[in-house]
Chains A and B, each alone.
Chain A
Amino acid sequence: MYEKFKDLLEEDFGIVYISAMYNVLNLLFVMVLVPTQVKQSQWMVLVILSLLSLSLLGVPIAKFLSKQVFVLLAGVAAMFLWAIVSYFEQSAAFIVGMLLPFATLLNFRYKYKTGMFYILSGIFVQLALLASQVKLTTQDIALSCVLGLGCALYLLVDRYWREKIRRHTQEVKVISLEMEKAKAKIAAAEKGFEFFLGRFVLQFKEPVSVMMGINNILQFNDTNPMRLDFMRRQFLTGQYLLSEFDQLVTGITQHLPNTRILSEPFNLDEVLVVVENRLSLARNESDLQCEVIFNNNAKQIVLGDKFRLSQVMLSLIDVVIEEYDSLSELNITMSADSLKLGDHVELKVTIFHNGQREDEISNEKPDKLSTQYFEKMFESLGYDLNFATLMIEQMESTLSISHDDAQGTYYNFVLFMPVAEDFTETGVDLVDQDVQKNWYGELLDIRILVVDDNKEACFVIKELLELAGAIVNIEHTGDAAVKTVLEGETRFDCVIMDLQMPNMNGLEATKAIREKYSKFDLPIIGLSINGIENQLLACLDAGMNKFSIKPFNIIDFIDFFQNALKNSNNPINKKLSPLSDEEALRMIKLPDGYDVDLALANLGGDKELYRSILDATLDEWHINIHQLQSALKRNDIHYARHVLSRFANNALMVGAVELDNYLRQLIFSLSLRSLDQDNEDINVLSLSVEIEDQIWQSIRVLKSIADALKR
């Protein structure tokens, strides 16, 4: 309790408390000490005056209410007092009744003036008592005066002392600011790490980030928004904040010699977010139409002071919002004309509004010479514009305002912000990665046709293949590719084919090429940005040797091509001996669960028979899998079991050992479930996905075995 009271006294509201208590005590003093002297008709006046003074307690209460609610209450109180006091025609009490609400309202802007109002109101209370013909003894008056003088003295001392503390704060507290944090920072700075003042500020939220940052450094912690607003206004009068901010920075740099105040790279989008937040508040508070436009060039990573830029923007917006009550539209355009990277981005900020000041409407219009008019405005508009101007000056720029009654007002400033260049944290050294360079020349004199409607893709693939020594031709459509391969003079060693192309797609083109050239005569690699299962199968069915997902990888391609070349019937491969069946099977790297040797042994080592069984099995499975899908879809477990048995019958014969096991277990499990008629918990969907996955995987492997043996 004591700590809380002490806090209240120490902060700005302490003055208000003291003056309020002064008035209350004054009245209580009179009412307690001299009750007998008060006539019955005058009691009402005293009660009203007491209520007035007690209403001052509304000030501390107001700190926990919203500003709007408090002003509303004050207004209601004023009306109530007006009515009562008018009834008794007590002129002195009337004046007091009018003064107090005014004093309360003014409290939010001018602390010391408010304090003086309270003192004055106290005097009026005394005058009212005198007017009511209450006879006070000399001691009563003396005690009352002591109370009044005490309060006045407190105000004076407080003001003097606070100023002194502030001056000290800049010199002393900065050094010892939040010592625990500061020590850590200093330790980091001494080790050569960079110390960034902005981090303090970054901890706080807009719209009072800078003020809160500094407040916090000066240990004015508070989270009550109304009080913060009050403090903000106190801090932002004139150049106070700026000088304090500068001295803060100077203090840190002086006392921490190893410290550098950095301009941290930031994205202008971050400023935009702050500005947008402020504008959305404005939109909610009024029907203001606000729009912010950033052109693309403005969205750069630049070096600079994000908070300062944000504050400039916010202050200007506040000027516009506060000063132009008839504002109908507020447009902010931020653009950067220059995109010269490694240099400076010239950031031009223009705030335009088409509203008019109220005084322009009601009063005589000012001189058209805008400069003079706005110079005058700079003085009178108070902290927001002044603050923005000085902030901009600190960023070595100027704020200019142009005004035309017919068109509106433009606030312009131009900042030069260096583009952030260093971005080594990409995790990649932007140099040749020599370790992979051994692929150069690996495709020497190999003729490759690249078919892709995407010119950028063709460009990249051509560049890479040429580095590898290949001779590259390019076609952008499937039909052109077919014509080149089938009718052209060049005999290609490989075709790289995009799948999705206008007119004739890659699959159609491959099928057309395959009518003349087999997989072993001319390898075709399918390229697509979609890696879906169906596409893979479609590619293999169409006759492609391999399917790759973009982007094109030169190392993978060379690996593939060299393997393909070994199996190729292409004349270029004359020097290479053809692979045996065993070698071909080894090349495809059979996964676990497949035993071709076992399958061959079961067939007496007859490879031709095995090959024909494999082909027949694959054909049958393609049909069976659709039957299985439809059976599972209609929850026909009995038929699904039947189809699965067909798969199982062939699986072992072609060497798919694990699939055989899996299917037999599954069939057994389904048999048990179908016997239990009440069992409803068969998750058909997940079962379907699992079975299909297993079978498709087997189909792929068996197809690769079949291809290898067809060679």
Chain B
Amino acid sequence: MLEQLRLIDLQEVYDCFGGNVVVVRKTITRVNEHFPAQWQELLESIESQNTQQIDVLAHRLAGTLLMVGASGFSSYLRKMSHFARDGNVPTVEMMKDSERYYDTLIREMNLILTKLDDQH
């Protein structure tokens, strides 16, 4: 009856972090705090059609997402980064997809943190 995490591969995060829940928690907390602002920055650069900035920001966010096991979303942002590197501005469709990813990511990070808060 309970929902699976769809974006975040928590086991992968654990594997990378040597099974340390404290680092898992710290990392997700930090990403959860900073990601919205960075995302906003990316959206602004898209709005201003600054492809160089889009490339850098999308690439950086992709790296951040790998830290929390969201490899699918990361891959998506990498594509966006390459797209921008070729001088293209992400399309409306791309942004719609990425917003869906974003919402899911935030929700899943919150769920994990809530669960961790309950346990500790």
Q: Per a CB cutoff under 8 Å, which of B4, B10, B17, B59 touches A554? A: B17
Q: Is the CB of A430 within 8 A of B23?
A: no
Q: Is the CB of B60 within 8 A of A453?
A: yes
26 A-B pairs whose Cβ atoms sit less than 8 Å apart in the complex: A296-B103, A299-B103, A301-B111, A341-B111, A420-B3, A421-B118, A423-B4, A423-B115, A427-B11, A432-B20, A436-B18, A452-B63, A456-B34, A456-B63, A457-B63, A459-B27, A459-B30, A463-B23, A464-B18, A464-B20, A467-B23, A500-B59, A529-B59, A529-B62, A529-B66, A551-B66
With contacts A463-B26, A530-B78, A554-B17 known, is A430 near B63, CB below 8 A? Answer: no
CA gap between A430 and B27 in the complex, in Å: 14
- At the interface, yes or no: A623 with Cβ under 8 Å from chain B? no
Q: Per a CB cutoff under 8 Å, which of A301, A498, A553 touches B107? A: A301
Report A-chain residues with C-beta under 8 Å of the C-beta of B111: 301, 341, 420-421, 423
- Chain B nearest CB, measured from A532 CB (Å): 11
Chain A: number of interface residues, binned into ranges: 35 or more
- At the interface, yes or no: B2 with Cβ under 8 Å from chain A? yes
Residue with the greatest number of chain A CB neighbours at <10 A, chosen from B5, B22, B60, B74 = B60
Q: Per a CB cutoff under 8 Å, which of B59, B67, B119 touches A430? A: B119
With contacts A426-B10, A456-B34, A550-B66 known, is A437 near B20, CB below 8 A? Answer: yes
Residue with the greatest number of chain A CB neighbours at <10 A, chosen from B15, B34, B62 = B15
- At the interface, yes or no: B48 with Cβ under 8 Å from chain A? no
With contacts A425-B3, A430-B21, A456-B64 known, is A342 near B114, CB below 8 A? Answer: yes
Q: Is the CB of B16 within 8 A of A424?
A: no
Q: Is the CB of A439 within 8 A of B18?
A: yes
Which residue from chain A places its CB closest to the CB of B35 in the assembled complex? A456
Which residue from chain B places its CB closest to the CB of A343 in the assembled complex? B114
CA gap between A283 and B4 in the complex, in Å: 34
- Chain A nearest CB, measured from B76 CB (Å): 12
- At the interface, yes or no: A300 with Cβ under 8 Å from chain B? yes
- At the interface, yes or no: A180 with Cβ under 8 Å from chain B? no
Report A-chain residues with C-beta under 8 Å of the C-beta of B31: 456
Task: Knowing that A426-B5, A502-B56 touch, tell me 12 more A-B residue pairs with CB under 8 angstroms.
Answer: A265-B3, A433-B14, A435-B19, A436-B19, A454-B60, A456-B64, A459-B30, A460-B67, A464-B18, A467-B23, A530-B78, A554-B16
Report A-chain residues with C-beta under 8 Å of the C-beta of B27: 456, 459-460, 463
With contacts A296-B103, A342-B114 known, is A460 near B19, CB below 8 A? Answer: no
Q: Is the CB of A456 within 8 A of B67?
A: yes
- At the interface, yes or no: A262 with Cβ under 8 Å from chain B? yes
- Chain B nearest CB, measured from A344 CB (Å): 13
Which residue from chain B places its CB closest to the CB of A339 in the assembled complex? B110
Residues 406-437 of A contacting B (Cβ, < 8 Å):
419-428, 430-437
Q: Is the CB of A553 within 8 A of B3?
A: no
Total number of A-B contacts with CB less than 8 angstroms? 139
- At the interface, yes or no: A17 with Cβ under 8 Å from chain B? no
CA gap between A464 and B26 in the complex, in Å: 11
- At the interface, yes or no: B113 with Cβ under 8 Å from chain A? yes
- At the interface, yes or no: B117 with Cβ under 8 Å from chain A? yes
- At the interface, yes or no: B43 with Cβ under 8 Å from chain A? no
Report A-chain residues with C-beta under 8 Å of the C-beta of B117: 342
- At the interface, yes or no: B116 with Cβ under 8 Å from chain A? yes
Which residue from chain B places its CB closest to the CB of A196 in the assembled complex? B1
Residues 290-317 of A contacting B (Cβ, < 8 Å):
296, 299-301
Report B-chain residues with C-beta under 8 Å of the C-beta of A436: 14-15, 18-19
CA gap between A342 and B69 in the complex, in Å: 23
Which residue from chain B places its CB closest to the CB of A550 in the assembled complex? B66
Nearest first, the 7 A-B pairs at minimum CB distance are: A433-B19, A436-B19, A341-B114, A551-B66, A428-B10, A456-B64, A554-B18
- Chain B nearest CB, measured from A569 CB (Å): 29
- At the interface, yes or no: A555 with Cβ under 8 Å from chain B? yes
Q: Is the CB of B21 within 8 A of A431?
A: yes
Report B-chain residues with C-beta under 8 Å of the C-beta of A463: 23, 26-27
Which A residues are closer than 8 A to B by beta carbons? 194, 196, 262, 264-265, 267, 296, 299-301, 339, 341-342, 419-428, 430-437, 439, 452-457, 459-460, 463-464, 467, 498, 500, 502, 529-530, 550-555
Q: Per a CB cutoff under 8 Å, which of B4, B18, B64, B78 touches A457? A: B64
- Chain A nearest CB, measured from B79 CB (Å): 11
- Chain B nearest CB, measured from A640 CB (Å): 31
- Chain B nearest CB, measured from A398 CB (Å): 28
Q: Is the CB of B67 within 8 A of A432?
A: no
Report B-chain residues with C-beta under 8 Å of the C-beta of A502: 56
Report B-chain residues with C-beta under 8 Å of the C-beta of A464: 17-18, 20, 23
Q: Is the CB of A424 within 8 A of B19?
A: no
Q: Per a CB cutoff under 8 Å, which of B2, B5, B13, B26 touches A420? A: B2
Q: Is the CB of B107 within 8 A of A422?
A: no
Report B-chain residues with C-beta under 8 Å of the C-beta of A433: 14, 19, 21
Which residue from chain B places its CB closest to the CB of A419 in the assembled complex? B114
Q: Per a CB cutoff under 8 Å, which of A424, A432, A454 touches B21? A: A432
CA gap between A341 and B29 in the complex, in Å: 14
Q: Is the CB of A430 within 8 A of B112?
A: yes
**B81-120 contact mask (Cβ, 8 Å, vs A): 1 or 0:** 0000000000000000000000100110011111111110
Which residue from chain A places its CB closest to the CB of B116 in the assembled complex? A430
- Chain B nearest CB, measured from A100 CB (Å): 53
With contacts A430-B115, A529-B78 known, is A265 near B1, CB below 8 A? Answer: yes
Q: Is the CB of B66 within 8 A of A423?
A: no
CA gap between A436 and B15 in the complex, in Å: 8
Report A-chain residues with C-beta under 8 Å of the C-beta of B56: 502
CA gap between A300 and B107 in the complex, in Å: 7
CA gap between A381 and B76 in the complex, in Å: 49
Which residue from chain B places its CB closest to the CB of A435 in the assembled complex? B19
Residues 21-74 of B contacting A (Cβ, < 8 Å):
21-23, 26-27, 30-31, 34, 56, 59-60, 62-64, 66-67, 69, 74
CA gap between A342 and B23 in the complex, in Å: 22
Residue with the greatest number of chain B CB neighbours at <10 A, chosen from A301, A454, A455, A500 = A454
Report B-chain residues with C-beta under 8 Å of the C-beta of A267: 3
Report A-chain residues with C-beta under 8 Å of the C-beta of B3: 265, 267, 301, 420, 423, 425
CA gap between A500 and B34 in the complex, in Å: 21
- Chain A nearest CB, measured from B13 CB (Å): 8
CA gap between A528 and B57 in the complex, in Å: 15
